[in-house]
Amino acid sequence: MLTNKRLILAHFWLAFIVFAVALVLGAWQMFVRSPLNAWHFNPELYYRSVTAHGSAMGYVFPTLIAMGFGYAITEASLEKPLVGRRWAWVGFLLVAVGAVVAMVPVSLGLASVLYTFYPPMIGNPFYYIGVVMVVVGSWIWVALTSINFTIWKRDNPGKPVPLPMFANVAGSYLWGWTAVGAALEILLQILPVALGFKSTIDAGLARVFFSWTLHAIVYFWLMPTYIAYYTIFPRAIGGRLYSDAMARISFILFVVVAMPIGVHHLFADPQVGAGFKFMHSAFTGLVALPTLLTVFTICASAEIASRLRGGRGAFGWITALPWSNPIMLATALSLVMLGFGGAGGLINMSYQLDASVHNTQWITGHFHLIFGGAIVIMYFAIAYDLWPHLTGRALESFGLMRAQLWLWFIGMIVTTFPWHYVGILGMPRRMAFYDYANPAISPQAFSVVVSAIGGFILLVSGILFMLVLIRGQFGTRGEAGAYRFSVPLHMPARIPVALNSFGLWLALMIGLTVVNYGFPIAQLMVLNETSVPAVYVGASR
Amino acid sequence: MATETEHSPGEAVTARIERRWATLSIIIVGLLVGMAAYIGIHQATMPQGHVETADPKTLHLAGEFIESNLGSAVEADGSVTVRAIGQQYSFTPQCVVVPSETPVTFRATSADVVHGFLIEGTNINTMLVPGYVSALQVRFKAPGEHMMPCQEFCGIGHQGMWGKVKVVDKAAFLNMAAAKRRLTCVD
Amino acid sequence: MSDQPLVSLRNPWFVAGVGITVGIAAFSAVVGLIWLPLAQPDLKLSGIWDAICSAAGVPRATVQDASIKPEFRTSNVVMTSEMLTKPDQVSIGRGATLSQRCAICHGPQGVSDANSPNLAGQFAAVTYKELNDFKAGARVSVVMSPFAAAISDQDMKDVAAYYAYLPRVPSNNLNAGLPAPAIVVTGAPMRNIPPCGSCHGDIDNKAGSPWLGGQSAVYIKAQLQSLASGARRNDISQQMRNVARQMTPEEIDQAARYYAAQP
């Protein structure tokens, strides 16, 4: 039962418009830095574009998807209208206005600091203010999700919370807490300097704060994808979810261990002690656990669907899956990319292996494969699945959808595999251009060209995606029926209170954060001599 | 765990398979973390052991990062210490010279913003954060030349921040060191 | 749903959840903070407490070996990005009076045809730093060194503020249509030459880097040559020598001619 369709649709449309713009920028970046382009251009334009691309893709796009999909889950799984509809619109407006406020200085070249901020470089204050507005807007969603969850539990004592809502709440709590790191960095450190109240900043501390957000934000991006795996995929292919309890455990594991692991982004940093690097490394290993569990559950759910359709044999059942169904295709392609990306992630997780790839193009390849690949392809699937319920019109172009998904997959592989490779060769990240004529890096030129071609394939896929959605707005009207989620194979009659509530897990999440981050942050905060002069970017000539 | 008692045999089977997989997953993760710790100890690639600070504003006025003290120095124990700084948009020394088959300690910091310190073709890869000293111990196997780009966005000129490392034969290096106390391969 | 309380030792989820989390945290803390540091002999730790402190990241003082002292004077100016960026009127006024001494070479309005630098509209931090370096002997000039020897710190700030306040005057050689040479637009990345404008203000400004537009080509060329040869060494930690020494004579010519023609 979706009552606030316009609210949800507004989130999705804005998300995909932002995505489309950022995708064009991304493809342009791939081109200008490749040997296909004679590199006679102002490098500032490149960094400006990277800042816009990163901020849009990292902060605005996934946040809007999580919010829009989250409201849809709240209404459809709890089967009642959203409580706090007005506030939801306020949150949406904050994100939308924040995105504009942030993008104006970026597009004027006044804040080319990349979306990871990089103090002591300091850009125009409105960039940071815009980012804060986006985050505050999303916190309204966190609060509304929690309120709707609490009200439903109060009205339905003793009943298990539907899995989609349970996962949605997990994602919102994870985000609510993980966004605190970057918020502290901006509010306590960057904004006072950007606004001129202070002129020094501790870059080391800022990096620690940012790492608090930087890793778990990936799991926040991942949440809608995992929710789609568990609650849309089995239903869409006519099967059952293998296990409801294991799904809940996976989401709980994300809440508890996704957060206190961010220091693995700082393995090579001099301001964090080696002991804390090891502790974060150990917990980073643990965060592979929910993903391994998920892969099992989803593959098992697919097998159930296939056997119900008459699939046979140890592997023969794979051919009996409904491959023409876009959701089936998207999920399979997503899992393949998750597999490759996850394997790369296990390499980044260890200090010893990370040293050979840290801040090389390997890392760029890694997170594009995970986020741009495994995660975003499921955002497409979610949109395809949800659209008829939101617009009241059928999506008819299944062939176009399949072509779009395949192109996205191929494009992402063609883009990221050469990226990984040149990373191993030592190609550094975030450079506007490279002199490929130089023999020291000329062996990388071919791979970079291939990678740029991948970027164009992705652009084509993105255009097809927008086309499908736009055609959907003008398709034939038809009642799509109630929006439903998948049903587990064995519906548990009773579930333990721990798998139906978050009190314990939130306590562990916060407790672990204090253990893993408390000391490094506290000791850098009391260290005065490491506050260094700000370096203002895009200042007047 | 505690609730699955009075259910169908099918459910017991699914739960059993699931538990096996979960156990296997835990073993995989444990193995990976254990491997990281073991290799760290036995191959001596552990993160920097101490946190040290340095004031980026005054590096050029006093202390170990003054201009005349940058470069490679032979220590009493025969090891080599290389001191370097990163700044917008170059490393000083711009060209680092080191001997092969010798323990080398890099000590480096930043004079302004965050920079990266990467020597291509090796596992030498660290961050230079203003306010802190990065130190790492390495050993170059064979003579040769490596590029040394800054791997972290440090401003509009970042793409032009490439230094060089020349690894020379140990004996040749010691010859050079006899004439000069801080070595570089600049000019 | 089970109605047992969440926080209870009889709730296996509570016991397992808290127990496993605390167990892993404690185990990884012991390994990371005690065992691993002690297993590395080259850290030279004095005991468990020292191991914990250093692995936790408590900063320690650097053991200072004797540094090699320079054979020449280096700049002793502490540059920051916000240095002298907030001019005050009194300072500008005093600077106007003081600057009369400079007019003979640098022109009454800070613009000169005598191949000495134009100072009108120059960043205050730049003028201040160069005066300082002349005074300290880090930069040497037969003309400027004697002038700077007697000037006080406040006077330098005032003169710098005055010149920064003056409007940049289009140079006599203005030719804005002159195409920018590659060395200016993109530099030569593999030779460690970034685009000139990434420091000198046309794209972004690095503290202490002068505005070059309209300067005499002869002057720019002479400075690049002396930085390249090491005759001039007052750029902090070789930041400009690193660039200049990598430039070819043709590139130096091109850059000097280009900037002389810019506003």
Q: Mind listing the pLDDT tens digit for each residue in A36-86?
A: 988 788 999 999 999 999 999 999 999 999 999 999 999 999 999 999 999
- Nearest one of A487, A456, A331, A465 to A400, comparing CA atoms: A465
Q: What is the pLDDT of residue C1?
A: 44
Q: Which of B40, B182, B187 is the closest to C245 by Cβ?
A: B187
Virtual torsion, Cα A292, A298, A300, A302, nearest 10 deg: -150
Report the C-alpha gap between A337 and A331 in whole angstroms.
10
The CATH number of residue C124's host domain is: 1.10.760.10
Question: Are A267 and B47 inside 8 Å of each other by CB?
Answer: yes
Question: Are C3 and A497 inside 8 Å of each other by CB?
Answer: yes
Q: Average pLDDT of chain A?
A: 93
Q: Which of C39, C61, C243 is the closest to B41 by Cβ?
A: C39
Question: Is residue B7 pLDDT above 60, yes or no?
Answer: no
The last residue of a domain, from among C103, C130, C165:
C165
- With a pLDDT cut of 90, the percent of chain B lying above it is 72
How far C241 CA lies from chain B's nearest CA (Å)?
A: 10
Q: Mind listing the pLDDT tens digit for each residue in C184-239?
A: 999 999 999 999 999 998 899 999 999 999 999 999 999 999 999 999 999 999 99
Q: Does the bond joining A120 to the residue before it have cis omega, within 30 degrees of 0?
A: yes
**Contacts with A501 from chain C: Cβ below 8 Å:** 6
Question: Are C1 and A158 inside 8 Å of each other by CB?
Answer: yes
Residue C157 and residue C103 share a domain: yes
- Nearest one of A148, B57, A489 to C83, comparing CA atoms: B57
- Nearest one of A127, A120, A122 to A105, comparing CA atoms: A127
Question: Is residue A221 pLDDT above 60, yes or no?
Answer: yes
Q: Does the bond joining C117 to the residue before it have cis omega, within 30 degrees of 0?
A: no
**Contacts with C23 from chain A: Cβ below 8 Å:** none
Residue C147 lies in a domain: yes
Q: Within 13 A of A484's CA, how many CA atoms are on the CB side? A: 12
- Nearest one of A356, A479, A408 to A2, comparing CA atoms: A479
Q: How many C-beta neighbours within 10 Å does residue B99 have?
A: 26
Residue C71 lies in a domain: no
Structural contact between residues C123 and C205, judged by C-beta atoms closer than 8 angstroms = yes
Question: Are A288 and B29 inside 8 Å of each other by CB?
Answer: yes
> What's the rounded mean pLDDT across residues A267-292?
91
Q: Model confidence at C115, in pLDDT bands (50, 70, 90)?
A: confident
Residue C173 lies in a domain: no
DSSP chain C: ---S-SSSTT-HHHHHHHHHHHHHHHHHHHIIIIIHHHT-GGG---SHHHHHHHHHT-EE----PPPPPPSS--------TTTT-S--HHHHHHHHHHGGGGHHHH-TTS--SSSSPP-TT--HHHHHHHHHHHHHTSS--TTHHHHHHT--HHHHHHHHHHHHHSPPPPPTT--TTSPPPHHHHT-BGGGTB--THHHHSSS-B-TTPPP-TT--HHHHHHHHHHHHHTS---SGGGTTHHHHTTS-HHHHHHHHHHHHT--
> What's the rounded mean pLDDT across residues A425-445?
92
Q: What is the pLDDT of residue A260?
A: 87
For B62, the 3-state DSSP assignment is coil
**Contacts with A530 from chain C: Cβ below 8 Å:** 59
Domain housing C58: 12-65
Q: Model confidence at B61, in pLDDT bands (50, 70, 90)?
A: very high
Tokens 């046309």, residue located: C202
For an interface test with C, give the residue of B58, B60, B164 to mutate (most C CBs within 10 A): B60
CA distance between the termini of chain C: 78
Question: Are B36 and A350 inside 8 Å of each other by CB?
Answer: yes
Structural contact between residues C111 and C118, judged by C-beta atoms closer than 8 angstroms = yes
Report the C-alpha gap between C235 and B86 in whole angstroms.
14
**Contacts with C189 from chain B: Cβ below 8 Å:** 159-160, 162
**What six digits make up the tokens of A176?**
């609510």
CATH number of the domain located at residue range(s) A5-536 in this protein: 1.20.210.10
**Contacts with B159 from chain A: Cβ below 8 Å:** 43, 431-434
Which residues contact residue B20 at a Cβ distance below 8 angstroms, ignoring those fewer than 6 apart? none
* A322 CB-contact burial (10 Å; exposed 0-12 / middle 13-18 / buried 19+): middle
How far B153 CA lies from chain A's nearest CA (Å)?
A: 6
Q: Model confidence at A164, in pLDDT bands (50, 70, 90)?
A: very high
Q: Mind listing the pLDDT tens digit for each residue in A237-262?
A: 999 999 999 999 999 999 999 888 99
Q: What is the pLDDT of residue A540?
A: 57
Which residues contact residue A339 at a Cβ distance below 8 angstroms, ignoring those fewer than 6 apart? A295
For A430, the 3-state DSSP assignment is coil
Helices and strands per DSSP (H, E), number in chain A: 19, 4
| Catalytic positions of A | 215, 219, 366-368, 429-430
Report the C-alpha gap between C104 and C110 in whole angstroms.
10
For an interface test with A, give the residue of C62, C79, C203 to mutate (most A CBs within 10 A): C203
DSSP state of A427: P
Task: Tell me which of A276-290, A373-387, A455-469 is least confident.
Answer: A276-290
Q: What is the pLDDT of residue B2?
A: 40
Domain boundaries, chain A: 5-536
Q: Which of B7, B28, B130 is the closest to A490 by Cβ?
A: B7
Q: In this complex, is the C-beta atom of B45 within 8 Å of any C-beta atom belonging to chain A?
A: yes
How far C96 CA lies from chain B's nearest CA (Å)?
A: 30
How far A453 CA lies from chain B's nearest CA (Å)?
A: 22
Task: Tell me which of A268-272, B47-51, C74-78 is least confident.
Answer: B47-51
Q: What is the pLDDT of residue B44?
A: 60
Q: Which of C58, C79, C193 is the closest to B160 by Cβ?
A: C193
Structural contact between residues A139 and A64, judged by C-beta atoms closer than 8 angstroms = no
Question: Is residue A471 pLDDT above 80, yes or no?
Answer: yes
Residue C24 lies in a domain: yes
Q: Which residue has the higher pLDDT, A507 or B9?
A: A507
Compare all CA atoms of chain A with the CA of C164 and give the residue at the minimum distance: A541
Q: Which DSSP helix (H) or strand (E) runs through B125?
A: strand B125-128
Measured at the CA of A434, the angle between CA A431 and CA A439, to 5 degrees, comes to 140
Report the C-alpha gap between B44 and B59 in whole angstroms.
30
Compare all CA atoms of chain C with the CA of A502 and give the residue at the minimum distance: C6
Question: Are A496 and B88 inside 8 Å of each other by CB?
Answer: no
| CA A101 to each of CA A12, A15, A31, A193, B154: distance values in angstroms, whole numbers, following the listed order | 20, 16, 28, 18, 24
Q: How many C-beta neighbours within 10 Å does residue A487 have?
A: 15
Q: Which residue has the higher pLDDT, A39 or C256?
A: C256
Residue C6 lies in a domain: no
Interhelix angle A503-525/C12-30, nearest 10 degrees: 20
Report the C-alpha gap between A236 and A332 in whole angstroms.
13
**Contacts with A265 from chain B: Cβ below 8 Å:** none
Which residues contact residue C119 at a Cβ distance below 8 angstroms, ignoring those fewer than 6 apart? C102, C106, C110, C127, C163, C166
Report the C-alpha gap between C17 and A504 in whole angstroms.
8
CA distance between the termini of chain B: 71
Phi-psi region of B96 (alpha: psi -120 to 50; beta: other; left: phi over 0): beta
Residue C190 and residue C146 share a domain: no
Q: Model confidence at C259, in pLDDT bands (50, 70, 90)?
A: very high
- Nearest one of A296, A289, A215, A302 to A252, comparing CA atoms: A289
- Nearest one of A485, A537, A541, A527 to A72, comparing CA atoms: A485
Q: In this complex, is the C-beta atom of C8 within 8 Å of any C-beta atom belonging to chain B?
A: no
Tally the domains of chain C: 3
Tokens 């005991």, residue located: C47
How high is the ipTM of this complex? Answer: 0.92
How far C114 CA lies from chain B's nearest CA (Å)?
A: 32
Question: Are C205 and A499 inside 8 Å of each other by CB?
Answer: no
Compare all CA atoms of chain A with the CA of B10 and give the residue at the minimum distance: A490
Residue C142 and residue C97 share a domain: yes
Q: Which of 149-168 (B) contact A at CB < 8 A?
A: 149-159
H helical segments located in chain B: 9-42, 170-179
**Contacts with B7 from chain A: Cβ below 8 Å:** 490
For chains A and B, CB pairs below 8 A equal: 204
Please, what's the b/e burial string for B116-138 (b: 16 or more CB within 10 A of its CB; e: otherwise)? bbbbbbbbbbbbbbbbbbbbbbb
Q: Model confidence at B5, in pLDDT bands (50, 70, 90)?
A: very low
Q: Mind listing the pLDDT tens digit for each residue in B30-46?
A: 888 888 778 777 766 77
Residue C99 and residue C151 share a domain: yes
Question: Are A282 and C24 inside 8 Å of each other by CB?
Answer: yes
Q: Model confidence at B3, in pLDDT bands (50, 70, 90)?
A: very low
Interhelix angle A503-525/A203-231, nearest 10 degrees: 160
Q: Model confidence at A541, in pLDDT bands (50, 70, 90)?
A: low
Q: Which of 61-120 (B) contact A at CB < 8 A?
A: 88, 109, 112-114, 116, 118, 120
Question: Is residue A397 pLDDT above 90, yes or no?
Answer: no
